[in-house]
Amino acid sequence: MTTETATLHIEGDSYEFPVITGTENEKAVDLRKLRSTTGMITLDPGFANSGACRSSITFIDGEKGILKYRGYTIEDIAQKATFLETAYLLIYGTLPTRDQLDDLKYQIKCHTMLHEDIKRFYSGFPKKAHPMAVCSAVVGALSAFYPEFTDPDDTEADGGIIRLLAKLPTIAACSYKHSIGQPIMYPMNNLEYTQNFMQMMFATPCEDYEIDESVSRALEILLILHADHEQNCSTSTVRLVGSSQANLFASMSAGISALWGPLHGGANQKVIEMLERIEDGDGSAENFVERAKAGDDTARLMGFGHRVYKNYDPRAQIIKKECRDLLDKIGGQSKLLEIAMKLEEIALNDDYFAQRKLYPNVDFYSGIIYKAIGIPVNMFTVLFAIGRLPGWIAQWREMRQDNDFRIGRPRQIYVGPVNQEFKPVDER
């Protein structure tokens, strides 16, 4: 029980509010009784200084560049865990035993196929539809196909959790196949999670698809690095939608939609577009950086800086190494990687970026890996969604089981007109 308090002085009156301390020594002023005590609320656009919940899932220290899942460093998890181990850890709170992991794999393999009627959805979408639009729509439609997992009183939702983990890669791959006019490939349950996704993406009925272990492992690491990241835009969306007791499928569909935005999940696509412009002759890396510093809107340096990290994004360190290793294994040179590394070298040695604490983030190198393994640019954000799914599920589940569970309902400061007189339409 905390004894530390914070004092707020308003118009000559003083109010005491408790200070809550987290297990990593983060501190927050508990303002739950602010309005009832003082009649006032806080104003915090973007909620950058507001804690919406207490969570035991993910910890970030942006100043030191630290990211942990359930107390395990991201470096340890990325090096030693599989994606499904990571998913189990995030959702259920502990690393799985061998039996638990085998059971999870078995259950997922039992549910990778989509209901045949869902295939009709794809024929109704235009070929040029963005895969994120398709994925969001199909995930939301799972509520209709599995109504037994939409009980608002079910805080465990294990049946829905398994189906989401199993089916989202299938849903994503089907959206890609539809967009290029190829037949949908059924999952092959003798393959591991990322391998299965790759064969659904790239195999055809004409010939077998050869699985490259280094490629599937690189993809797995990317999924792990994206698996959760505290209360970001899409995660907060999942929690807010879920706070109305919306079912798991509806909440995940909302998360996918939030992730779609270019300021969130679409950032790595912007990085690739930037690197391709430089490759196509839009100035050298040095020239591009100088134009960016000068505020040239045609030379925005994408993939640098993060709202949370004021140090090097630990995920970017891992991806940078994985990017080099992957290209060495599969052969060939990447001009985009060379440009990216040159941009990073210039920026890290430039006081302009150092003073503003602008370091490469997870998006800076991830797109290069996706492109190297053949993922089309419009599928980058879809891969992000597959990776982030365990974190969304874990956050939704934790929120539903929280003793403080209540519907989300932010306040506002009204700044509109007052006391207007309504006039009949002919007098306006």
Residues marked active site are found at: 306, 363
Helices assigned H by DSSP within 243-379: 248-259, 267-279, 285-293, 314-330, 335-348, 351-355, 362-372
Q: Which residues contact 17 (CB under 8 A, 6 or more apart)?
A: 5, 6, 7, 8, 29, 30, 31, 33, 34
Q: What angle do CA 274, 266, 357 make, to 5 degrees?
A: 65
Q: Which residues contact 82 (CB under 8 A, 6 or more apart)?
A: 192, 193, 220
CA dihedral 249, 255, 259, 260 (to 10 degrees): 50
How many Å apart are CA 55 and CA 168, to the nearest integer? 25
The length of the chain, given as a count of residues: 428
Segment (H or E) for 82: none
Question: Helix, strand, coil proportions of the chain in percent (round to 5)?
Answer: 55, 5, 40
3-state secondary structure of 149: helix
Contact 239, 399 (CB under 8 A): yes
Half-sphere exposure of 252 (CA within 13 A, CB side): 32
Among candidate residues 141, 18, 157, 148, the one with its CA nearest the CA of residue 91 = 157
How many Å apart are CA 185 and CA 175, to the nearest integer? 11
Contact 31, 44 (CB under 8 A): no
Tokens of 244: 């109305």
Give φ, ψ of 377 to 5 degrees: -60, -40
> Taking the CA atoms of the chain, what radius of gyration do you get in angstroms?
24
CB environment 352-376: b (16+ within 10 A), e (fewer):
ebeeeebbbbbbbbbbbbbbbbebe
Tokens of 187: 């999952």
